[in-house]
Structure 1
Amino acid sequence: MTDFETERRILIVDDLTQIHETFTRIFRTTKRKENDLDDFEARFLSDATVTYPSHSTSSPVFSLTHAYSGEEAVHEVQKSIDGAIPFSVAFVDMRMPKGMDGLETIKRLWRIDPRLQVVICTAYSDHTWDQIVQSLGYNDQLLLLRKPFEHDEARQLALALSEKSRLAVLQAQKLTILKTEVMRRRKAEMELRDMAHRDALTALPNRPFLLEKLEQVIANQGPKRRSHDSILFLDLDNFKIINDSLGHDAGDDLLNQVAIRLQECVREHDLASRCSDAEDSVSESNGDETVRLGGDEFVVLLEGLEHRDDALRVARRIVQRICEPFNLDDRLVTVGTSVGVAFVDESISDAHEALRNADTAMYQAKNSGKGQIAVFDQTMHDAVVARHELEAQLRVALKEEKFELRYQPIVNLKNGQIQGVEVLSRWRGGDGEFVPPCEFVPVAEEIGLISQFGEWVLERSMREFSALMASLDDAQRPQVYLAVNISRRQLADPFFIDRLQAIIDRAKFKGALKLEMSENGDARHNERTLKTMLELHHSGVGIHIDDFGKGNSSLTCFHDYPIETVKIDRTFTASITRDHGHAIITQAIVKLAHHLLATIVCQGVESPEQLKLLQQWGCDLGQGYFFAPPLDIFELESLLIKPDESVGIKVLKQSIAAPLHLPAATGSLPGLPASS
């Protein structure tokens, strides 16, 4: 059955039985075959072998319900609505002496079913159209059928109005479906937006959410604002160790627990004493947020602080809370955190700048030690900018080989001969001034260029030194070793020795090679570093400990490493003539090294008085401006040919020629300055 042929429910409301019988005859469904003409054509006008299909038409199917009063009509309509089978059209007689008249009946029916199509059946003497409209109002669901009426007129009204009703129902259904789909899509969009602004692991808001929130906070800034907004940027100390030792599942568990603790810190502060420790100074929260940026980095956004110190109170609370042990799979682990604090005010241009300031302060706190808090100021940003500029220049300088090498002699204090030279790297920055190695070498280590830089220095110095030695005749050529500084990271590389041998082969270096390294290094690489040092020692390459006493020096290096020589830092040498404590420490190091069969080099020798004390203590070698400053390869050649041109070497040889007169025992070690 087509949509047009679907059953149309019609309500007949009239108090006369004859009228109901008339409507029954009008809407009786009949089917008429229309094949008479086809039979005639088949018999007289067409080929008898051709078969013509018969056609039939079906009238619309009407289902009538009869109501003999207005009250009964109301009951039927209510029942149809309750059963979800509403009427399409109601034919309502206007004049019904018993009970409600037609107008009142229509009003009651529309209260129950506002979509019901109504045909008023009225005689000319009942009501005028103006009276009907005045009572019922203008309505496109209302038509007038004057009595007496034709059967086809009633059927056509019923057909048109029922079709209109059916289409209205379909439209309402489609509208409902459309509304449902819109709501579903809106919900999906909200869920996607929430997912896009939530960290998948901790369910905390993420970086995009934070940036949007910060833009709102910045928009509210102004000179008249009395409260303060701040960002706390933090990351976990030693988180990588947890991941490496216990696995990434444990690391994820730790991050979830950290997120919970951070939320507790903010919630406790917000509800208890957000702006002060005093109860009467608590201010209303504007919505603190804890955000995970990724990895082990978190951000806490504090809004509407009454005092700036409140941000520091929250930061201290976070540091204390995070330092408490975490339970990871029945194992207690302890991590710390470093916190950077940055305030958001009218000077901040955008969210990225605000977040960058807090990040900068966090790194400042981290560099100050674990569990520290730092508040951002402009000098921090300036230092970061300078650091990045230095890094960029360093990459270019390494690519274009803009470094220069200098060589500083190392002199034997017992015979006055130049025994070795240390290679020192020099680099002119963009302003043409030399950048100290203590500034650019750590940067090279941090950005992963130290191996490339160190190998360039090795190969370049070997080539220059080999060419210098080859240019001297046998009488002029001294037995001098070449000492090159290397990083502990290079020694931790399992392929370092192979690359070193390749460099030696390319440079055709045949002299004695010494590698100088600082004692400080990453403890996790000790085993690999020690293995490399032992292999170097067995191959004839000497290992020197540089700048001993400058950092966290330990006497275990004499026992743990195959040390050939220890170089005492220049800070000790510079003060041995005036600082009794440094003098005692320096002499003790010399004696200890000799007992352990190591050679001692004192750096920073700059005066005859220092030289005299070092000689008396039995120091083996000396290095410093008193003998010669760092020289280029041509100046070094001249010094090797004529060493007596060095004032220090000349004084040293004269002191060796003259007998030493040691002072009598006076209760202090020989040669030490009297303690003040």
Structure 2
Amino acid sequence: MAAQSLAAQSLAAQSMPAQGVPAHSSPVLGMPVFSIASTYSGKQAIAHVQKSVELNKRISVAFIDLQVSGELDALTTIERIWAIDPAVQIVICTSYTSGIWDSVVRRLGYSDQLLLLRQPMENDELRQIALALSEKYRLSLRQAQKLSVLTKEVKKRRQMESELREIAHRDALTQLPNRPFLLNRLETVLSNQGSHRQSVDALLFMDLDNFKVINDSLGHAAGDDLLSQVAQRLKQCLRDCDTAARGSADLKSDCNETITEETQEDGEPTERTIRLGGDEFVVMLERMTHYEDAIRVARRIVASIAEPFRLGNRKVTVGTSVGIAFLSDSIRDGHQLLSNADTAMYQAKNLGKGRIAVFDQSMHEALVARHQLENKMREALRDDKLELRYQPIINLRSGEIQGVEVLSRWRSDDGEFVPPGTFIAMAEEIGLITQFGEWVLRRSIMEFGQMLERFDPMHQPDVYLGVNVSRKQLNDVIFAERLSGLIEQTGYSPNLKIEMAEKGDARDHERVLRTMHGLHEAGIGIHIDDFGKSSTSLTCFHDYPIETVKIDRSFTSSIADDHGRAIIMQAVIQLSHHLMANVVCEGVETSEQLELLQCWGCDLAQGFYFAPALTIEELERLLRDPNRSHGLRELRRFLTSVDYSMPVRTPLGQSNAGGPAQIPLPSSVPMLPSTGPYASDGR
């Protein structure tokens, strides 16, 4: 090459260039063919390497004579060649080697791309060196290319993994961190708990009040918009937290930060907003100074969410309930802390909307007890361990038992009865109310039908069976059809009345209305139960095919000493009669209450004055001998001792006297006994 060495001259003589790369293989022998370029000075060699790089026809091997002539010596030439292309392999040719290698290494360093060759050499040896170095170069190029491809692939894969990790830990709608991120972060906090014992870590769990109403009435797009706006407000609440709530450092957390496992420096409080799913959000507060800081943040959030939201051209208002759980040594894992905050949130909801509750151990114990009760209820329903009772409904004009209301009872393992309000509400919450309601219908129809069969057909009592049905059951468009099938399966055809609570969700009004008309057309009477407990009372009269109105016992219990309640009771009775509906007053317990109801023209009554809720056997005995009830006996004596006429209303509410009954009793009417034999709290 430069100042051609003897080796270069020998290669040229063998038609084998002193420097170059294999261009192609001989079609006969398969041997590589080289191109050669010769230079006579260091400058020319450097220029040639530069050009080869520019043309992407790189030099694989350079043979350089140590005694090169010109401005640049051999070692300087090599340094500049490597500066241009570090991959070039150098063979230094010299006639003597004593001490040369040490001086070369001191100048150029050790390298597997540097070879010292003593001249002259045998041609075969020279050929082998050229072939070996060229092949080594070719392999190194291939490896470099593969390494480049692999490097790009690894980088691409890492980028994809990062994006997937971001997606996996980011809520797509609100762009907030999600549940997996929260649990990962909680585990990190728990593992570092010992190093932050002087600070306070807390979890704020919240969900939106009335979100389902908005989502169902305005559509899912509006619901998504609302959730996104809530997320922004939560972020803003945390950005605006005052320094007292955040500790001594005046930090403003960027809630849009890229999700990583890295944390801020020790001592700096951090805040993160997480969306768990649906309308549930969590705020994670780390390294706070005081417990009150978390409560202050919760109050800020409640106030912010209470402000109206704009969805399109509408303004809507929602609220939020917040449960707070603090990290402590008793927390085993992130799931437990999240569960504690969730429990506190439900406690806040029970206190009323827009409330805050801090978790304590009593909440956990109550939750465990409730879960046990839920499991026992499922078992009781599955194993047919529930019981039914029947409370008589008395006709105040005839003194006869006109109907019974079916009441469910559940006796726990300790022999005590679980309050109906507790387990029925629980059945609603855990999705058992439909199954429970069908069980009550089937069992009551069978028990009642079997009881009536035991009477002489000529003396069989004409008594209706009133069964409470949940709004969820009535929301089923084929409920009337299902009920007809159930009655057919039992083999009995009772005089069935459906009792429905007046309160309900306005969104299911149309479906419930269609179901009620279907029941009415099938000859099944509709009774509105607990009338007066809801603000929608008067709507029931207009829309539903009502046969009977049952006034809630909360009114009956106070009519003797609450003038306002007494006026309302009279008005409801008169309104019902004008609309051709019978009236049942629940919770009658004293003779004074009964006398007032008779004065106001009430049709029917039930309560402990006459009888408590009875087993089917006790009901049968009472039907055979009504005088077993002291209250019934006194009522009948009272009715026969007074000579006056009262219009008797038919089952559909039509008076046979041509109009509503308004019968003031004369002052000479004898007083009834103050209490009946079954007087007690409750029905």
> TM-score w.r.t. structure 2 length?
0.80
Instruction: Sort the Cα spacing of 1:619 and 1:96 in 2 relative to 1 into closer, same or farther, 3 A.
Output: closer
Higher Rg of the two aligned structures: 1
Partner residue, 2:13: 25
* 1:542 and 2:525 aligned: yes
Structure 2 counterpart SS, 1:472: coil
Partner residue, 1:45: none
Greater displacement, 84-93 / 299-308: 84-93
2, 25, 47: which one pairs with 1:12?
2
Q: What is the number of residues matched between the two proteins?
A: 627
Instruction: Sort the Cα spacing of 1:168 and 1:507 in 2 relative to 1 into closer, same or farther, 3 A.
Output: closer
Structure 2 counterpart SS, 1:303: strand
> Is the CA contact 2:499–2:527 (under 8 Å) kept in the aligned structure 1?
yes
| Percentage of pairs with the same residue | 56
Distance 1:507 1:56 in 2: 99
395, 419, 440: which one pairs with 2:402?
419
Instruction: Sort the Cα spacing of 1:481 and 1:29 in 2 relative to 1 into closer, same or farther, 3 A.
Output: closer
Residue identity opposite 1:374 in structure 2: A
Structure 2 counterpart SS, 1:64: coil
Partner residue, 1:481: 464
Partner residue, 1:252: 224
Partner residue, 2:498: 515
Cα distance, 1:333 vs structure 2: 4.5
Distance 2:370 2:539 in 1: 35
306, 319, 326: which one pairs with 2:289?
306
Structure 2 counterpart SS, 1:12: coil
Instruction: Sort the Cα spacing of 1:421 and 1:98 in 2 relative to 1 into closer, same or farther, 3 A.
Output: closer
Cα distance, 1:63 vs structure 2: 0.9
Distance 2:518 2:83 in 1: 101
21, 39, 63: which one pairs with 1:66?
39
Structure 2 counterpart SS, 1:293: strand
Cα distance, 1:62 vs structure 2: 3.9
Distance 2:402 2:11 in 1: 131
> Residues 321-360 of structure 1 correspond to what in structure 2 (within 5 A)?
321-360=304-343
155, 159, 162: which one pairs with 1:190?
162
Distance 2:290 2:428 in 1: 41
Residue identity opposite 1:318 in structure 2: I
Partner residue, 1:636: 619
Cα distance, 1:621 vs structure 2: 2.7
Q: What are the superposed Cα offsets for residues 589-608 of structure 1, whole Å, 9 maximum, x if unpaired?
A: 44444454433333223333
Instruction: Sort the Cα spacing of 1:121 and 1:452 in 2 relative to 1 into closer, same or farther, 3 A.
Output: closer
369, 374, 381: which one pairs with 1:391?
374
Distance 2:583 2:32 in 1: 120
Partner residue, 2:417: 434
* 1:160 and 2:93 aligned: no
> Residues 465-614 of structure 1 correspond to what in structure 2 (within 5 A)?
465-473=448-456, 476-552=459-535, 554-614=537-597
Residue identity opposite 1:25 in structure 2: A
> Which ranges of structure 1 fall in alignment gaps of 5 or more residues?
1-10, 31-53, 665-670, 672-676
Cα distance, 1:212 vs structure 2: 0.6
Cα distance, 1:222 vs structure 2: 4.0
Instruction: Sort the Cα spacing of 1:23 and 1:440 in 2 relative to 1 into closer, same or farther, 3 A.
Output: closer
Structure 2 counterpart SS, 1:65: coil
Cα distance, 1:331 vs structure 2: 4.9
Partner residue, 2:62: 90
Cα distance, 1:578 vs structure 2: 4.5
Greater displacement, 211-220 / 55-64: 55-64
* 1:207 and 2:179 aligned: yes
Cα distance, 1:472 vs structure 2: 2.3
Residue identity opposite 2:231 in structure 1: A
Distance 1:317 1:496 in 2: 46
> Is the CA contact 2:3–2:69 (under 8 Å) kept in the aligned structure 1?
no
Q: What are the superposed Cα offsets for residues 112-169 of structure 1, whole Å, 9 maximum, x if unpaired?
A: 5444333333233875555555555544333333344444544443333333333333
Instruction: Sort the Cα spacing of 1:394 and 1:192 in 2 relative to 1 into closer, same or farther, 3 A.
Output: same
Greater displacement, 403-412 / 552-561: 552-561
Cα distance, 1:325 vs structure 2: 4.5
> Which ranges of structure 2 fall in alignment gaps of 5 or more residues?
19-26, 254-266, 644-664, 669-673, 675-683
Distance 2:666 2:235 in 1: 72
Residue identity opposite 2:13 in structure 1: R
Distance 2:97 2:369 in 1: 102
Residue identity opposite 1:65 in structure 2: S
Distance 2:193 2:359 in 1: 18
117, 120, 131: which one pairs with 1:145?
117
CA RMSD of aligned residues (A): 3.7
Cα distance, 1:580 vs structure 2: 4.6
Instruction: Sort the Cα spacing of 1:183 and 1:513 in 2 relative to 1 into closer, same or farther, 3 A.
Output: closer
